[in-house]
Amino acid sequence: MGKILDIKNLKIEGYSNEKWVEIVHGIDLTLDKGEVLGLIGESGAGKSTIGLASMAYTRQGCRIASGSIVFDGMELFGASKETFRKIRGSRIAYVAQSAAASFNPAHRLIKQYAEAPVQHGLMDFAEAEQKAIDIYRRLLLPDPEKIGYRYPHQVSGGQLQRAMVAMAMSCQPDIIVFDEPTTALDVTTQIEVLAAIKHITEQFDMAAIYITHDLAVVAQLADRIMVLRYGNLVEEGEARTLLDNPKEAYTKDLLSVRTFRKPTDQNDHNQNIILKVQDVSASYTGKEMVLEDINLKIRRGKTVALVGESGSGKSTLARVITGLLPPLQGQIIFEGKELPPDLKSRNREHLRQMQMIYQMPDTAVNPRQKIRKIIGRPLSFYFGMDRKKRENRIIELLEMTELPEKYIERYPGELSGGEKQRICIARALAANPNLIICDEVTSALDQLVAEEILKLLQRLQNELGVSYLFITHDLATVKAISDEIVVMLQGRIVEQGEKQEILTPPHHEYTDLLLSSVPEMNPDWLDNLLAERQAAQSL
């Protein structure tokens, strides 16, 4: 098969601190016709930048410094804007991470679908409309005849992502660049989109560049994988070979599965219960229930993982427990005593015992305060410590969270994402809490960084005996850290119990769906799963 794309010695520069800095250091990339290439790496690896560069496009503040990008015999580096315009959309198409942001909110889906083929002069609107309906049908979108006439905000996230795949298909391009197309989706929705992408690339024999940070996802689709780090190539190889037999240490790290939690002692049952949520129902509007009949217990020094998809009410439950949203019914019992439902009527001691760590460390700390002030604030607020004592305690907390002492003088902006999350952990610990609510604390972090954070949380629990309520949609995290698991669906608890118990079959139907939807490294996983589900349906 012939090469459709041949990139040689590609160097890309980014503009920062008033000078151009090289961020992609001479990458070679080739793509055969009909081949799916996986680009994998953590944030900052340059994978999106390279993906966009294959369309000779760079984001604001970036530029292609040198190299050659040959698409179907045409040199794109240094070509005219008119050449780019003719190729983009018609011969190379792009699928972005967030369909919600990448569809124009002002136009109907089908109009946006038809725009590229009509503007490139390939067909008229009526023909494009017919094709759109055909592709919507192939992508198994519900009501394919009508769904195109909706506005982007009128369809669900997974459907919108598939509509964007359809839009990329509209000119039957030679290459589609998929840029993390399933990262923002729940596991069960991710399956639909992955299946759609696999189906469509095979059916039309299209070449694709699939960009992701999740090896298990890329394993399902790619023929060949390139592992990138800091703008350099780490390793490249046939998908199966690379997954079975990674050569570089970094690839091995990415492949390693997280398990560092020993199974819980079954004798722990009598350990005292620190938090009890009793018959709680809650609502934002007073009409629609967001939570119904929630009962759960958290034991001292243990971790309860709260699992569910977006919209299942996990974060709302955290808001009820902390008093941000007083429940309509039910009680929150902490250390045997009922807490006032409303945050305002809780006293300082109530507040101190429960702390939160959030998903986005960037927005959870004030960027204009030094670390000293961020961690020092709870120390003076809860314990009235003077300057000297505070200083010692802050240094102690930094040590506990494995951060150097000198960070006390720094601003959050000078820290990496993982370090900022450690600051948030230190701030929560500063209050000496008995319970920490961790709301998706690792979701915004790269895989390896997230693992370090989980290890840290585990160590702190062993040392301090603090309990965690761990809210997450990531089942790998759950397996790694939890003692008990609570599964939520549409505001109700569908299953709860010890980790072993929940993770061993037979499962509740929904738990089974969640567990089976987590991609595995095995490249045949998706095909097998889809076949299984189809078989189950036809029974």
Partner 1 sequence: MVAKRLALGLLTLIIISLLIFLGVELLPGDVAEAILGQSALPETVAAFRKELKLDLPAHIRYFSWLGDLAKGEFGNSLANGRPIADLIGWRFSNTLFLATVAALIAVPVAIILGILAALYRNSLFDRLISMATLSTISFPEFFVAYILIALLSVQIIIFPSISNINEQMSLFEKIHAIFLPCLTLTLVVVAHMMRQTRAAIINIMASPFIEMARLKGLNRTRIIVLHAFPNALSPVINVVAINLAYLVVGVVVVEVVFVYPGLGQLLVDSVSKRDIPVVQASGLIFATVYIGLNLLADVLSIISNPRLRNPK
Query: Rule CB under 8 A: which residues touch partner 1?
Result: 52, 55, 57, 59-60, 84-90, 93-94, 96, 98, 101-107, 115-116, 119-120, 150-151, 153-154
Q: Which is nearer to partner 1, 96 or 197 (CB)?
A: 96
Q: Which is nearer to partner 1, 61 or 404 (CB)?
A: 61
Q: Which is nearer to partner 1, 79 or 255 (CB)?
A: 79
Q: Which is nearer to partner 1, 101 or 531 (CB)?
A: 101
Q: Which is nearer to partner 1, 310 or 416 (CB)?
A: 310
Q: Which is nearer to partner 1, 46 or 246 (CB)?
A: 46
What 3-state class would DSSP assign to 223? coil
Minimum Å gap between C-beta 103 and partner 1 is 6
- What angle do the packed helices 125-138 and 187-204 form, to 10 degrees? 120
Minimum Å gap between C-beta 62 and partner 1 is 12
Q: Is the peptide bond before 326 cis (omega within 30 degrees of 0)?
A: no
Minimum Å gap between C-beta 49 and partner 1 is 13
What 3-state class would DSSP assign to 12? strand
Residue 45 bridge partners (DSSP): none
| 440, 359 Cβ separation under 8 angstroms | yes
Query: Can you tell me the distance from the alpha carbon of 504 to that of 498, in angstroms, rounded to the nearest whole number?
Result: 10
* Residues counted in the chain: 539
Query: Can you tell me the distance from the alpha carbon of 350 to that of 346, in angstroms, rounded to the nearest whole number?
Result: 6
Q: Which is nearer to partner 1, 95 or 375 (CB)?
A: 95
The CA distances from residue 334 to 174, 268, 276, in Å, are 60, 19, 6
Minimum Å gap between C-beta 120 and partner 1 is 6
Minimum Å gap between C-beta 203 and partner 1 is 22
Q: Which is nearer to partner 1, 18 or 265 (CB)?
A: 18
Instruction: Name every residue whose Cβ is closer than 8 Å to that of residue 434 and which is 6 or more positions away in sequence.
Output: 274, 300, 335, 353, 354, 466, 467
Minimum Å gap between C-beta 316 and partner 1 is 20
Q: How does DSSP assign 485-510, residue by residue? A: EEEEETTEEEEEEEHHHHHSSSPPHH
The CA distances from residue 413 to 154, 369, 439, in Å, are 37, 10, 22
Minimum Å gap between C-beta 218 and partner 1 is 22
Burial class (CB in 10 A: 0-12, 13-18, 19+), 106: exposed
Minimum Å gap between C-beta 43 and partner 1 is 17
Minimum Å gap between C-beta 168 and partner 1 is 9
Smallest CA-to-CA distance from 508 within 476, 525, 479, 485 is with: 485
| 28, 8 Cβ separation under 8 angstroms | yes
Q: Which is nearer to partner 1, 122 or 456 (CB)?
A: 122
